[in-house]
């Protein structure tokens, strides 16, 4: 039987949750190159009405949703007479996630992406997952629900996409090690005092990737790599003991699989999110798109080194949360969301992101020594809320002063 995934002649219907963001922009760019092959159903944004309207026009979407309900009238007015349906609020975001399509791109930032991603999973959709926080906070639930509902989760994060391709359908039981690479971020060669006192502008100046603010700060602190280890654990059902990180400043190799027979398969590409986007949008086929090609000879050499846990303590905090399991990954994520927001607002120093996250994990453990794994969305919401409240309370204890 030919399924819709194998039917290359049909136009693929796509919905994009987080259409106005950095990943959304890569999706838009690939679709614009291959207009004849894609049809856009739903587009979702948080509050940027103008960008949403412009993309909805450009991609000829059917349904445009703004999460902020107070912006419904503005959106409706701007879409009047276009034939594009306007809607607002969480229920509309969920409606966008479950309308039947060939692929739902999940690219809302933070835990706000969890409910719509979960709804798409329950609806049995094929999901190109960029939103790592959903898996970090509710990995067991999401993967279990996907199995039950017959949903497919395709990794859109560049490292996981590379690993997915390098695994090539093999079970992770057969592998010895799975390695995610990290660019090292903007502070790779800075000393610890400089890092702890880095400004917002310095943290946002990523050397290789152009991304949204939250993930860019996470990259600078190495929390992003920690979240990605947790994401990989759930996504590939791989033991935390087999997961490792290597710093690779050129961001050419994104992930490596070490097999027991001595073979090592690496996933390579230029650091451009259009590559994993194109892979996911066409899967299990391939698209040919116009973007710069990797030229290894012109690179000359590439390098690798071990991560530095002293200068980048967030990586160790995330690894500890991964090994502890239970509620810890959800607590880690909630605390980090508060810490990054506070850093971006100038309330705490860069170094205090790790301090606040660690204090919050400790405070949560004091209150909940049983560390129960969340089994429902309500459990996840409740752990997230407790973590965020603890982190908010902890904010006043960590100063915005420079650390010496």
Question: Applying CB under 6 A, which residues contact ligand NAP?
Answer: 18-24, 44-48, 51, 67, 93, 107-109, 112, 130-133, 157, 209, 211-212, 214-215, 273
Counting runs of H as helices and runs of E as strands, what totals does the chain give?
17, 11
Cβ at position 271, least distance to ligand NAP in Å: 9
DSSP per-residue string spanning 292-351: PPP-HHHH-----B---TTT-HHHHHHHHHHHH-TTHHHHHHHHHHHHHHHHHTTSS-SH
SS3 249: coil
Residue nearest ligand NAP, Cβ-based: 21
Instruction: Give me the least distance between CB of 26 and ligand NAP, in Å please.
Output: 7
Query: Which is closer to ligand NAP, CB of 146 or CB of 273?
Result: 273
- Token pair for 91: 């229920």
Instruction: Give one DSSP letter per residue of 34-50, joined into a string.
Output: TGGGEEEEEEEESS-HH
Smallest distance from the beta carbon of 51 to ligand NAP, in angstroms? 6
Order across the sheet with 264-268: list the strands. Answer: 243-247, 175-182, 253-259, 264-268
d(CA 13, CA 325): 37
Peptide bond into 284 cis (omega under 30): yes
223 or 398: whose CB is closer to ligand NAP? 223
Q: Which CB sits closer to ligand NAP, 51 or 270?
A: 51
Min dist CB 58 to ligand NAP, Å, is: 15
Task: Report the nearest approach of ligand NAP to the CB of residue 46 (Å).
Answer: 3
Residue 303 CB-density burial (10 A; 0-12 exposed, 13-18 middle, 19+ buried): exposed
CA 360 to chain centre: 22
For ligand NAP, which is the closer residue by CB, 6 or 50?
A: 50
Smaller CB separation from ligand NAP, 45 or 257: 45
| Cβ pair 394, 362 in contact under 8 A | no
CB of 215 to ligand NAP, least distance (A): 4
Q: Tell me the closest approach of the beta carbon of residue 212 to ligand NAP, in angstroms.
A: 2
Query: How many of the other CB atoms lie within 10 Å of CB of 347?
Result: 16
Q: Contact 39/13 with Cβ under 8 angstroms? A: yes
Residue 125 vs 196, nearer CB to ligand NAP:
125
C-beta of 24 vs 394, nearer to ligand NAP:
24
Q: Judged by CB, which is closer to ligand NAP: 62, or 214? A: 214
- Nearest approach in angstroms of CB 18 to ligand NAP is 3
3-state secondary structure of 211: coil
Q: Which two tokens stand for residue 155?
A: 């990794």
Contact (CB, 8 A) for 65 and 93: yes
């Amino acid at each position: 039987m030919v399924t819709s995934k194998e039917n290359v002649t049909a136009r693929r219907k796509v919905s994009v949750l987080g259409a106005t963001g950095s990943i959304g922009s890569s999706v838009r760019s690939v679709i614009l190159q291959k207009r004849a092959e894609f049809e856009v159903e739903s587009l979702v944004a948080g509050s940027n009405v103008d960008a949403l309207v412009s993309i909805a026009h450009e991609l000829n979407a059917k349904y445009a949703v703004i999460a902020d309900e107070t912006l419904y009238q503005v959106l409706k007015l701007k879409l009047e007479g276009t034939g594009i349906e306007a809607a607002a609020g969480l229920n509309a975001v969920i409606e966008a996630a479950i309308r039947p399509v060939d692929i739902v791109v999940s690219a809302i930032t933070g835990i706000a992406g969890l409910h719509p991603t979960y709804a798409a999973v329950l609806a049995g959709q094929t999901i190109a997952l960029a939103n790592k926080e959903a898996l970090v906070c509710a990995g067991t639930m999401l993967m279990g629900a996907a199995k039950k509902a017959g949903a497919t989760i395709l990794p859109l994060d560049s490292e996981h996409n590379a690993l997915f391709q390098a695994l090539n359908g093999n079970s992770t039981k057969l592998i010895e090690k799975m390695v995610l690479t990290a660019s090292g971020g903007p502070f790779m060669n800075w000393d610890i005092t400089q890092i702890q006192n880095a400004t917002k502008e310095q943290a946002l100046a990523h050397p290789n990737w152009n991304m949204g603010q939250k993930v860019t700060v996470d990259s600078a602190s190495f929390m992003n790599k920690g979240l990605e280890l947790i994401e990989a654990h759930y996504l590939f059902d791989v033991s935390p003991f087999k997961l490792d990180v290597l710093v690779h400043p050129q961001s050419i190799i994104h992930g490596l699989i070490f097999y027991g027979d001595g073979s090592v398969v690496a996933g390579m590409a230029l650091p451009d999110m259009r590559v994993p986007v194109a892979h996911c949008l066409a899967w299990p086929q391939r698209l040919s798109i116009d973007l710069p090609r990797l030229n290894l000879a012109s690179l000359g050499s590439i390098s690798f080194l071990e991560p530095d846990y002293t200068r980048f303590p967030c990586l160790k905090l995330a690894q500890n949360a991964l090994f502890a399991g239970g509620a810890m990954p959800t607590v880690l994520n909630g605390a980090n969301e508060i810490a990054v927001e506070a850093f971006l607002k100038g309330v705490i120093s860069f170094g205090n992101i790790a301090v606040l996250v660690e204090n919050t994990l400790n405070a949560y453990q004091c209150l909940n020594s049983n560390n129960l794994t969340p089994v429902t969305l309500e459990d996840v919401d409740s752990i997230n809320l407790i973590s965020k409240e603890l982190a908010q309370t902890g904010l006043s204890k960590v100063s915005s002063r420079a650390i010496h």
